[in-house]
Structure 1
């Protein structure tokens, strides 16, 4: 019912939205002599704001066509290398001729960036991808919008996520590197533990966890407290709805993207109000550059995808209510997940000092779980003065966090080239 009401509201507002767009176009037209008047700018600004607030936000484009490496522009082509109904593995292939001109003549380490399946599209990590393209062959998980997956394609749950990560690491070949951003932390650690126990040749060479709820009992945030305070039945009754026609996934039970978005925004509602009021003023003042930056941010932020009922509810249950992984009780396909059996996968954890999604300590918990790793293969880093988003994007990520991850990966590559498959790796170097 909730999904149907949302759809009805969107279509009911179509005439008003069309009128707002016509008004916006009229008052921004260079043929309108009154476009630069105070009244014209006010009418244009209000119409534009209304049109943007009520429109649909689809999956944003990556927009990564080139990357500058050592002063050389290198062409980049996103290429699908593996897929299932639930995920597309995208390789950002760099042009080899351009790479040679940049002085890079050997294949660089393969890195799987595990994007979160928690509302936003993988394009939220655009800045993360651009940073990693400087020194790596970059692959990223692009998860499907559940409303677009037909019911005949079956279910997708927390354990399917673990299987997908393992399969994609195998696609990358021997000893790739994995970077888990936020939500994927627990299932990525589980996949790595299972691969280590099996002696899988594609087990990660290094694993980096960034702002991940490995143990959500530590430094609980608003999100954690909500999961603890509400009974499991509440989430099933209030957060789940059925996809209506005409979507391909009609009939599928999902946690709708618009519900997730409402939850995101409610956490900082005053900031969002202030941001839109600033945008309105910027339009009226003719500050096009600032207004464009606002639109770029919200084009990404307001694009949300649906999660399957089973994945969402299992994540709430396994990660945020019963804490099965840190308690040593997570069972996958009949097997107990045992991170203590990881002995040769270098570990780096990264947290933000002001993270209000995954509190300090939640990601660090991976070190205690991976008790079989020698101390020299573990590194923890807390980035000062950043929140959750700043852990994987922005200037501090590029200048202070990314160099540490790069050093972890390249030190691991050097060690693997000199060390037998099952021997401990040498200690990594610190970032400058």
Structure 2
């Protein structure tokens, strides 16, 4: 018998809110956090918009002096972890710190630091490179900083699978608890890649939306016939996972149960998904089976839903393979329509949203959905433009990354 694992804490920093309550209220209100980029001059770029995190003060979570030695992505990581641990009510002094772990990833790492230091090298030579450059840039540091900040000394890892990173980290944390290697895990993902070099890279591969600079909030249009590319976002989220008996013993508030996980790969292309949608479908089916459920038990899909032509189509094809005719009755919506694509941070944020969907019985909408793409068979229930009250017993949260990485989790209502 696998150990049961429950969710007892939530934390987010996103373009639509830097705490869970604000994030959720804006999500179900259909409020977009996408706007003209404020962090740097975009005059040389075709893309002028992004989902930036607003009014974020890292000194609320990190000592100011130490914070100067950390990339923005690590600031986000410590922030969401502190929120989630406070929400869960876990006191490290009352626990064995070797049984408290972290699995928090980032798809790109400290790319803001990388760009700044690269420019400094070109202008002033190697002697001016910061001695903190490497520990600010490498992608394991968000997880490491969480462990250091909280004094959690158990398993501490950072999985990197591009846009599937956050979901893969949650799945790996689930397995860590199920196998008995930890009692509690902080799991999810963060990203801080809104900078010129990252946007130029995605822009030049024609992945970004460049036709809505004058109307940023309408730019991210998942599943809509006019979808034309994703919008870069930043931030992320984590959930606190806890072995059920451990949570019950300390009287923890239980939001929901993390019941299943699966991962695989298309083995098809470095950026494009396999148009057959075979492996995402296999991944969804395996996650549902791992949860001890069937497709008939799934009431909602928190979609990858990036607003790119191929990814959205691929996800719809996969859903139809799994659910058959019932696919038309399973609501599917995309948080990215409001936040943009948080890359490695998406899976963590969307896991928080999925938990809150189950707890509150409200499905967030896919905003900017106005025109059905009937030609491509994009005709499912995408919860267009307005949130919907509906009981959700079990839900999928899916994320798919460059390189063909697929990751799916199943979250269900907790029942004793």
TM-score by length of 2: 0.30
Structure of higher RCO (CA pairs closer than 8 Å, 6+ residues apart) = 2
TM-score normalised by L of structure 1: 0.29
Greater C-alpha Rg: 1
Say which structure is richer in helix.
1
